[in-house]
Each structure stands twice: as C-alpha cells, then as structure tokens.
Structure 1
Amino acid sequence: MGVFAKDTFHYFGSEGVEFGRLLGDFGYRYVFYLRMCQTGGLRKLIFTLPRKHLSRKCGLEISPSTQIGEGFYIGHPYGITVNAGAKLGRNVNIHKGCTIGQENRGHRKGVPTIGDRVYLGINSTVAGNVAIGNDVFIASNTFVNQDIPNHSIVIGNPCKVIKTVNATEGYIINLV
C-alpha cells in the first residue's frame, strides 16, 4: 500500500482513492497534491500548480519537502503553516489555524519533531526545536514550546502537560 493509500485509509477507512471526496474535501485533495509533488518527476510537474492554487485558496503553507509520515490528515484545511524543516510522524491530524514553526534564537532554535499519533487542535502552535512524543493530544489554542512526553494531553498557554494513557483515543482513527 502506497503512502497516499495509507493517507486515504486514515481519512476514510478504505484504501482506494475516493475520487468523489477528492473533489469535495479540500484537506484530502491537498494531501493528494502534496503526496504527488513529493514523488518527484512528472507527477511533481503536473501537480505543483494545483497544489499552489489550493494553497493560496485555503492559506495552506506545507512544503512538499517537509517530512510527513503516512496517515496524514488535514481537518478544516484553512490557515495552516508547517515549516519545511519540521518532521511529522505517522497518523498526524492537523486542524484549522495550526502552526508548526521555527524559532530563530535561544536554546530552542530550530524546528519541531512531531511523533506518531499526534492530534493538533484548532489554532494550536508548536514552535522551536522541541520533540513531541507519540500519542499526544494538543488542545485547541495551545502554545507548545517545550518537549512533550509520550501519552500526554497538552493544554493552555503556557502549556500544561497531563500524562494520559491513550490520549488520542477517539480523536485519531483508522491508524496506519
């Protein structure tokens, strides 16, 4: 199963490309264009223009050079920024207004590394050279600028970490 087939499974629970949904769901369509651009060659040439068009239409700033694991999900695909140097693991869900950004000075200078099974709620921000563990739920409007351990819920600004087993259960489905 290819990377986009795994993304499709994460979205809908099925492996085949959902052409009807490809037309109607901007998040799914953007992930399709992004994956096609990541393959390089002729596909990159063909899908760069539609990806850029959808980027401008929805305010999505996610570079094809960004390392993104299988099962990537964009919910409410508007106003999302992911730094090109960031690394995202498998089964990452990202939502409207999220920023995964770089810090340019200090001891957190750099970009985040996001683990597997991470849910980023609406308007959440992860900034700097921080590591987000596996099975982490980042609540809406949360600002994260510190390392987050596995199996955690993160809320607020400054962020508060609550250790929780199965933190993303029910929020991230159809794992690949």
Structure 2
Amino acid sequence: MRKLFKEDYYRMTGTVYETGLRSLAQWFISHQIRYVYWWRKANKSPNILNRIILKRYSKKYGLEISTGAKIGRGLYLGHPYNITVGGGVKIGDNVNLHKGCTIGRENRGKREGVPTIGDNVAIGINATVIGNIHIGNDVMIASNSFVNFDVPDHSIVIGNPGVIHHKENATEGYIAFCIK
C-alpha cells in the first residue's frame, strides 16, 4: 500500500514522497492526496476506521471511487471533484481521471458489465465510460465524450457519440511523471 501511495503522490505532485515538511504541506494542501491515501488504505486493510475516514472524504469532495475497483500504480486525480468509479472497474497504471468523469457499469444489453482501462490513459472532464468494454493503452478520452465501445491502443476519442481517431503518442504531454 505504501509503495502504491508513493507512486500516486509522485504522479500528482512531481516530487518524491519523503517524511518531512514539504510532503506534510502537500498532505494538507491537496485533498486528492489525502483521499487516495485513504482509498489505498481501505483497499489494503478494509477495517471500519479506514472505511469511515474514506467515506468522510468521499462525501466532502464528491469522490466516489469504489473500494471494489482495481486501480494500478500512479493514479492521478486532476481537479478532483465529482469523480465516480464503480465497483469491479479495472484501471491500469498511470491513468488520469479529471473532474466529473464517470466510469461505471452498464446494467443491461450486450455490454452489460464494467470497463477495463489500460495503461497511460487520460479521461477528460465530464467524460463517461460505461459498459463491458476495453480501453487500450495510450488513449485520450476528450472532455464530455461518451464511450460505450472498445477503443484500440494509441487513440483519441472525441464527442458524444464518441469518434475514434488513431494517433501515436496520444497522451503525450497529458500523462506526466509516469511510473515505469
């Protein structure tokens, strides 16, 4: 848990987490760092105290990331308010989630289920990703896009309904401080 949090901290701040004044200041300034810390802790050790603290931050900031979601290393929460990630969602390494994005379950039809999201993916403001779909690696989902279909590697998705555009290094400049 500690290693994963340190990688999340690095992705969000660009600095290495160390015991000291600078890291302590970031802890108090950045609510997303506190939230991710307690989310990782509640996933690793789901005791009642960890869940209560996580619930408090969840209500305070509108961050609803299910402890049933599986999230890889280097999570980045940008402008972190009203982000929703449903239970069972699988998210890879170095993923950016921005304000208002929703990643969740489709309850009926041929895409019933939850998404699987690859590595180095950026999901923009108010984007929605739902259903039993696969988002590849190096994918940019633009703001306000609606995605309920598979997206191949090295792509940009724009619009509602989403349109896929192939682009090598689609997230270059968006995914900073990557964890290798």
Count, aligned residues: 174
Q: Compute the displacement of 1:6 (Å).
A: 0.9
Query: What SS does the aligned partner of 1:21 have?
Result: helix
2:144 is aligned with 1:141 = yes
Could you say which residue in structure 2 is the equivalent of 1:163?
A: 166
| 1:140-173 per-position Cα deviation (integer Å, ceiling 9, x unaligned) | 0000010000000110011011100110011110
The 2-side partners of 1:76 and 1:12 are apart by 13
Could you say which residue in structure 2 is the equivalent of 1:6?
A: 7
The 2-side partners of 1:78 and 1:9 are apart by 20
Q: Compute the displacement of 1:118 (Å).
A: 0.5
Could you say which residue in structure 2 is the equivalent of 1:68?
A: 71
Could you say which residue in structure 2 is the equivalent of 1:124?
A: 127
Q: Compute the displacement of 1:13 (Å).
A: 2.4
Structure 1: gaps of 5 or more residues: none
- Identity among equivalent pairs (%): 51
Misfit runs of 4+, over 6 Å:
none
Pairing of 1:19-168 with structure 2 (within 5 A): 19-40=24-45, 44-168=47-171
Give, as a single letter, the amino acid of the residue that structure 2 aligns with 1:33: W
The 2-side partners of 1:76 and 1:13 are apart by 16
| 1:22-41 per-position Cα deviation (integer Å, ceiling 9, x unaligned) | 11112121111111111216
When normalised by structure 2's length, the TM-score is: 0.92
2:24 is aligned with 1:16 = no
